Amino acid sequence: MYEHGQEVSLDDADVVFFGLPEAPWEPKRYRGKPSLDDDDSFRYKALLSRWRTELLSALRAGKTVFVELTSPDVVYAGTGEVQRSGTGRNAEKTRLVEEVSSLAAIPYDLDGIVIGEGHEIRRVPASRLLSSYWTKFGSLSWYEMRFAKQQGLKPLLTSRNSEQLVGAVVAAEGGGHLVLLPAVYLGEHDDATEGGDSSAGEASFRLNSIDFVQRLLGVDSELRGTPSSPPPGWATGTAYETATQRKLREDLLKAQAEEEAARRHKEEIESALQDASSLQGLLFGQGRQLEEAVLRALRLMGIEAQRHVDDESEFDAVFGIDGQRFLGETEGRDRAAIDIDKITQLERNIGEDFTRDEVAEHARGVLFGNPQRLTAPGEREKTFTPKCMTSAERNQFALVLTHQMFGPAAYLEATADQKYAEDCRTAITSAKGQVVQFPEVPSTDGDA
């Protein structure tokens, strides 16, 4: 069993059982629904897109994908776009959002969705596909959403009025099948154990889980054209288990524990590698990737830097050096130099920043540019346009070529050289209307 946030592939799976991903918790509301900030919006939409792609790939590979249709999470997520209106002090920015449902993770768009819980479910008489599954788990199932009949859907289960579906199967290209099931409870249902022996409840859950998997495999076999008879419930207990089976189950549990430990260790390494790789955004990044790389580089130089986002303003980088406040803007261009447009935007941002009640003086501007980002750093010929340079000189802004930040930042990440970090900070503060000249990176023992 995997969490939705894990970077796993379904290529190794023969059969998939999938539950809808949960949206990030967010107290802020918009039109009665949670409203995610930009970071959570990006992550959640990427998560839904990744699982939709994985499930679609599994279906196209001829696999059976079971989906438990619990009540979907519906949130408002940022589109990454801002709508501007007005000019000067009357200028306003509106952050654009869109409604996003956890159902987007399923590679099939359902029509006529109605959210609501119910327990009276009828199996479609003409379909025998779920007969074995429903015999065992029909009484343990309920629906939290209904959907309309539509082309491509073969009805399996309906609500009481038989007009809306709560279970169906979709034949996918490539021979796979998407089986939509209502919610099911695999926990203990014997009232005698409630509040009593927890081990009895756990044992019941494990037996139900084993039976659940066996019956899903039976559905899969029938869909593949090789029907098999799942073992009856009484045969899934320990009474008829051989010594060899018990030994193998113990070995399996041990192997699963080792696999889980290895998986966690792998995830820790992958996370550390991702963090370590973020500095490379200074070389070829743009947008959010470049912003994050610049913030990380500044922090390595001993500068407390962060993005600023509120209902009225959004600045790429805000930081202080030796009591002086700076406001930064980032820009990456594929093949061109950084032009005056970003300097003009930086001027507007500084003016907008100064209107805030908590700001007592104008910040100094820093433009972090990554020109010709698709060209190797040593082969780049364009930096900032003449107009950009002239405007920076007039405003006493510092200009930073982010690919020239990479060497100093990588060195500081490896050494935490405080004196060198101080020299980097001085280079930024002393560049008034000029391109920042970072100090030469000291040689290390590992250098040739």
Q: What is the CATH number of the domain that holds 333?
A: 3.40.1350.10
Q: What local confidence, expressed as pLDDT, does residue 375 receive?
A: 94
- Average confidence score pLDDT of the chain: 86
Residues 193 and 204: beta-carbon distance below 8 Å: yes
Q: CA-CA distance, 204 to 186, in Å (whole number)? A: 8
Q: Is residue 167 part of a domain?
A: yes
**Both 234 and 284 in a single domain?**
no
Residue 115, φ and ψ in degrees, nearest 5: -90, 130
Q: Is residue 9 part of a domain?
A: no
The model's confidence at residue 234, banded by pLDDT at 50, 70 and 90, is: confident
Q: What local confidence, expressed as pLDDT, does residue 192 receive?
A: 41
Q: Domain boundary residue among 242, 270, 291?
A: 242
* Range of weakest confidence among 7-16, 184-193, 353-362, 368-377: 184-193
At 180-212, the pLDDT tens digits run 999 998 875 444 444 455 555 566 667 778 888
Q: CA-CA distance, 17 to 13, in Å (whole number)? A: 10
Q: Domain boundary residue among 242, 262, 293?
A: 242
At 22-58, the pLDDT tens digits run 888 776 888 888 888 888 888 899 899 999 999 999 9
Please state the pTM of the whole predicted model. Answer: 0.49
At 161-170, the pLDDT tens digits run 778 999 999 9
Residue 403, φ and ψ in degrees, nearest 5: -70, -20
Q: Is residue 272 part of a domain?
A: no
**Both 335 and 423 in a single domain?**
yes
Give the mean model confidence (pLDDT) for residues 10-26: 86
**Does pLDDT of 83 surpass 60?**
yes
**Both 300 and 202 in a single domain?**
no
Q: CA-CA distance, 131 to 156, in Å (whole number)? A: 10
Higher pLDDT, 249 or 352: 352
At 434-448, the pLDDT tens digits run 999 999 999 865 454
Q: What local confidence, expressed as pLDDT, does residue 369 receive?
A: 97
**Which residues, at least 6 apart from 136, have a Cβ–Cβ distance to it below 8 Å?**
211, 212, 215, 233
Of 292, 387, 233, 271, nearest to 7 by C-alpha is 271
Give the mean model confidence (pLDDT) for residues 113-130: 89
Please report, rounded to a whole number, the percentage of residues in the chain having pLDDT higher than 70.
90
**Both 344 and 425 in a single domain?**
yes
In 10 A of CB 75, how many CB atoms?
23
**Both 199 and 340 in a single domain?**
no
Q: Is residue 8 part of a domain?
A: no
Strands 364-370 and 398-401: parallel
Q: Is residue 422 part of a domain?
A: yes
Q: Is residue 38 part of a domain?
A: yes
At 391-433, the pLDDT tens digits run 999 999 999 999 999 999 999 999 989 999 999 999 999 999 9
Q: What local confidence, expressed as pLDDT, does residue 191 receive?
A: 43
In 10 A of CB 19, how many CB atoms?
15
**Both 203 and 340 in a single domain?**
no
Q: Is residue 356 part of a domain?
A: yes
Give the range with max mean pLDDT: 86-90, 207-211, 221-225, 232-236.
Answer: 221-225
Q: Domain boundary residue among 214, 242, 270?
A: 242
Q: What local confidence, expressed as pLDDT, does residue 297 receive?
A: 96
Higher pLDDT, 38 or 231: 38
**Does pLDDT of 367 surpass 50?**
yes
Q: Is residue 2 part of a domain?
A: no
**Both 137 and 213 in a single domain?**
yes
**Both 313 and 366 in a single domain?**
yes
**Both 78 and 218 in a single domain?**
yes
User: What is the total count of domains within the chain?
Assistant: 2
**Both 333 and 226 in a single domain?**
no
Q: What local confidence, expressed as pLDDT, does residue 31 receive?
A: 83
Q: What local confidence, expressed as pLDDT, does residue 448 receive?
A: 40
Q: Can you give the residue range of the structural domain that contains 212? A: 15-242
**Both 24 and 125 in a single domain?**
yes
**Both 306 and 351 in a single domain?**
yes
